[in-house]
Chains A and B, each alone.
Chain A
Amino acid sequence: MSSSHRLEGAGAAVLDEMTAAAVAASVRDALEGVFDAVSGTVADTEAVLAKAVTGGRRPVSADLAALRTGLHARLTQYDLVSGLGFVATPGLLADAPSWLEWWQTSADGALRPLLLDLDPDHSAYYDYTHWDWFTLPRDTGQRAVAGPYVDYLCSDEYSLTLSAPITVEGRFMGVAAADIYLRRFEAVVMPLLQRLPGPARLVNARGRVAASTDPRHLVGSLTKGPDFAAGPGGPADGAEHGGLLLRPCDGVPLTLVTAAPPAQRRSPDGATRGQVSG
């Protein structure tokens, strides 16, 4: 399919249709790619911290400079990622009460460290331990997807943050994380959603819409009713709720929501494309 076709206004309808299962799998694959960047940072950070711990000393901020080569390489390699790094649990380092080894791609393409004022006497934003991307991996021991949310700590952008816990000898040391601007996420998943036969949205575990082709249920809004967090893998595959069909993107906490087929009343050419209600 050439891009000129799409510009002719034929829209997504002329693209081959995808099944909901295939779309959910592609969304999962896109996020799994970013989780690879997070896993690489987890491995690097655990190695650096373990070296200090087995050497019988507390890690210091200078130890974390060893992470930079890997962080820079991943920022360049992963198009979806706008920022990534390691966020230490407060009290971890011997020479700083709290620390973010965090790098971002700036508008001009340069890689820059995030420099935050973490002094409680100066800044109201010094405590980062209440953000979902920190608390979820800390409290569950599992990797997590936080957002969409307005990230007023690092970028002031509407974002998703993927994170994973870092533990050394069973002790929680902080999280590795990667930021995805929502607009970049949308650029990846919208072409997929548009290949579904009707309006569709991706909803996070709290019911917040992360991407949508339904103008009545746009990104950032809430889909109320279904429990999108039910069970570790989200709602049961193919579950119906008030006219909505729920399909979890296995392995990542997003659910693909489409309109349940109105008892096979849809005509073969798909002309009675219904709006997703709810």
Chain B
Amino acid sequence: MPVDTLARVDAVVRRLADAIDLGLLAEGEQLPGEIDLAAQLGVSTVTLREALMALRQQGLVTTRRGRGGGSFVTVPDGPAEDRLLARLTGWSTEELRDLADHWAAVSGAAARLAAQRTEPADLQQLRRSLGELVEAEGSAARSRVFGRFHVELAAAAQSARLTREEITLQTEVGALLRLVLGDDGYLEDTADRHRAVISAVHDGADDRARALAEQCVQTSMARLIELRLGPADGTRSPSEGGPHEQQSPSRRRRSGSS
């Protein structure tokens, strides 16, 4: 199989698995027919079939034949965080770093333009999301609101293209972010950083807004890359929330795994 087809199979597997781990696809839910689903995902039916096969092997999809048959979502037992950690190993650090760079560029540009073009009503939505981020129970809800904040930031920039770009990025990174947002201490840092973005946008301080929004993205992605690299050499203090502590978020926040 050509390399780009293999890459596309991987991308489809990730997207569908992410949708299941984000709760967008529920246990027992029937997936659309192969032709419709392939069209929705923008891939050929051959690519989709390969992806469904991989998902069946991961236990995320079961296929029943005959009348009333089709592909159905199965959510495996055990915490979603543990599955996500396993899936994180499917990303190379180079891919994660590149994703971080892309996302930081989009959110940074969005914040700069929002600071130039914002008026008070645009900030209401960002403030509401910040409030919900602090209150959200569980890493899945936190990840959804985190993503929405960045979409709203792009919308405040008055850019449909940046907004669409953010929405696409969220479908890639949303599920993985659960791995870093389960930590209550880190969530507080994240909320503070996003609060600072709102202030800079409010003040019309475009360069500061850009730098702060880039930091929001880079710090979360840096934690994800640390997780990907595995347990550190033990020199980190526990209060910093090193990778070792991160490996068992589900034990600390059982409620977080939906």
Chain A contact residues, CB within 8 Å of chain B: 117, 121-125, 130, 132, 148-150, 152, 156-158, 206-208, 220-222
Contacts and interface: CB of A to CB of B under 8 A. Distances in A.
Contacts of B6: none
A208 B119 contact: yes
Interface of B: 22-24, 26, 116-119, 121, 124-125, 128, 144-145, 147-148, 151-152, 154-155, 158-160, 163-164, 167, 258
Contact of A149 (B26, B144, B155, B258): B155
Contact of B164 (A125, A132, A156): A156
Contacts of B26: 122
Leading 6 A-B pairs by shortest Cβ distance: A220-B158, A124-B144, A150-B155, A124-B148, A158-B160, A150-B163
Given A123-B144, A132-B121, A150 B128 contact: no
A208 B158 CA distance: 10
A152 B129 CA distance: 15
Interface of B is mostly: helix
B128 to A, nearest CB: 7
A125 B148 contact: yes
Given A123-B144, A208-B158, 14 more contacts: A121-B23, A122-B22, A122-B26, A124-B144, A124-B148, A130-B125, A130-B128, A150-B159, A150-B163, A156-B163, A156-B164, A157-B160, A207-B119, A220-B158
Nearest to A121: B23
A195 B103 CA distance: 43
Residue from B155, B160, B164 whose CB has the most chain A CB atoms within 10 Å = B160
B121 A206 contact: yes
A211 to B, nearest CB: 13
Contacts of B117: 220-222
A121 B23 CA distance: 7
Nearest to A220: B158
A242 to B, nearest CB: 18
B121 A152 contact: no
Nearest to A120: B141
Contact of B124 (A130, A150, A222): A130
Contact of B145 (A121, A122, A124, A132): A124
Residue from B117, B147, B167 whose CB has the most chain A CB atoms within 10 Å = B117
B151 A152 contact: yes
Contact of B163 (A121, A132, A152): A152
A148 B157 CA distance: 12
A220 B151 CA distance: 17
Given A130-B124, A150-B163, A156-B163, A124 B119 contact: no
A118 to B, nearest CB: 13
A220 B117 CA distance: 7
B167 A156 contact: yes
26 contacts: A121-B23, A122-B22, A122-B23, A122-B24, A122-B26, A123-B24, A124-B144, A124-B145, A124-B148, A130-B125, A130-B128, A132-B121, A149-B155, A150-B154, A150-B160, A150-B163, A152-B167, A156-B160, A158-B158, A206-B121, A207-B119, A208-B119, A220-B117, A220-B158, A220-B159, A222-B119
A220 B147 CA distance: 23
A152 to B, nearest CB: 5
Contacts of A221: 116-117, 158
Nearest to B122: A149
B45 to A, nearest CB: 20
Nearest to A183: B160
A132 B125 CA distance: 11
A208 B117 CA distance: 8
Nearest to A204: B119
Contacts of A222: 117-119
A207 B128 CA distance: 23
Contacts of B125: 130
Contacts of B128: 130
B160 to A, nearest CB: 5
B163 to A, nearest CB: 5
A87 to B, nearest CB: 17
Contacts of B258: 121
A156 B151 CA distance: 11
Contacts of B155: 149-150, 152
Contacts of A123: 24, 144
B22 to A, nearest CB: 8
A221 B114 CA distance: 10
A117 B144 CA distance: 13
A117 B118 CA distance: 28
A207 B158 CA distance: 13
Contacts of A149: 155, 158
Contacts of B124: 130
A148 B121 CA distance: 12
A125 B119 CA distance: 22
